[in-house]
Homo-oligomer: A and B are copies of this chain.
Amino acid sequence: MPGPISGLIPAPHTPFHPDGSLNLDAVALQAELFRECGLPGVFACGSTGEWPMLTLDERRRTAERWREVGGDSLKVVIHVGGYCQADSIALARHAREIGVAAVSSVAPGYHKPTTIEELIEFWVPVAAAAAPVPFYIYDIPAMTGVSVPMSEVIRNAKPRMPNLVGLKFTNTDFVELQELIQLDGGAYDVLLGYDECYLGGLALGITGSVGSTYNFSTPVYRRVEAAFAKGDFDTARRAQKLAIDMLKTLKEFGLPAAQKAVMAMLGVDCGPSRLPLRNLPLEERVRLWERLSSMDVFPRPLRKPE
């Protein structure tokens, strides 16, 4: 693998106190759960981490805390992206200074680039500010509205971004996914961002996957991996289907809020989400618990909310 991370990588929630202020004490609890699940690192301050709702200072403090807690045993990738290039450059520099394993950055999604060239030009100084720390492009068109063929972006960007090692591909275009995996003979890390498609991704040759459900349901994905490794596709498909069922249940309640509720059920209280995300009242959290508690996907028993 060209870059520092591979396999299952959780995108941790940024923990808040009930009043909405940053609760960095909870990071240790998150890290403890991830180590328990044998996870190799984290992709922090990304979409699950509610980066747009964090001030720059909060992003820096969160990154520092992950670095501190991660130590030598959890690799820390920090998302530094945003729509203001100057801010992203500053965050990238900070991330490098605190010694992260890699940085990543989204495409600017308000004034959108109209050519691949403009998109690359936007990223070049961000990657440069992080260098020699490895840089991952973060492609997530459903959020940014920027939808361009990433294989072409990477092909053109690499000469100007030497620390470019791959991308987080939160995109359902499986043709482009295959292009990316085969690009230059497998020269780039391709980290799939759709947990629902992990099995398909393994078959096509992804190097890893970054996702929000890896925060709290690693065991079911380990079963997918193990069965795939043995060529037992029936078992792999059933495990993957169970993960999909869990996700659909979460979505019925509203994905971000339901995920934070599950974290609390696992003893890792990450608090509420920030607006415009909603939060689940107790009654709904209890109903969610009733739906999920018997699913064999979690690393710990789920505590009933109260």
Contact = CB atoms under 8 A, between A and B. Distances in A.
B276 A244 contact: no
A121 interface: yes
Interface residues of A, number: 58
Given A109-B109, A181-B237, A200-B203, A244 B55 contact: no
A50 interface: yes
Contacts of A113: 276
Contacts of A241: 178-179, 182
Interface string A110-140: 1111110011011000000000000000000
B204 A275 contact: no
A299 interface: no
Nearest to A175: B196
Interface string A140-166: 000111000000000000000000000
A241 B233 CA distance: 22
Interface string A37-54: 000000000010010111
Contacts of A121: 275-276
Given A200-B200, A244-B175, A275-B121, A84 B55 contact: yes
**How many copies of this chain sit in the oligomeric assembly?**
4
B237 A182 contact: yes
Interface string A249-267: 0000010100000000000
A286 interface: no
A62 interface: no
A205 interface: yes
A302 B244 CA distance: 45
A126 to B, nearest CB: 10
Contacts of A96: none
A196 B172 contact: no
Nearest to A275: B122
B174 A254 contact: no
Contacts of A289: none
A108 interface: yes
B86 A237 contact: no
A119 B175 CA distance: 29
Interface of A: 47, 50, 52-55, 83-87, 107-115, 118-119, 121-122, 143-145, 172-175, 178-179, 181-182, 194, 196-197, 199-200, 202-205, 231, 233, 237-238, 240-241, 244, 254, 256, 274-278
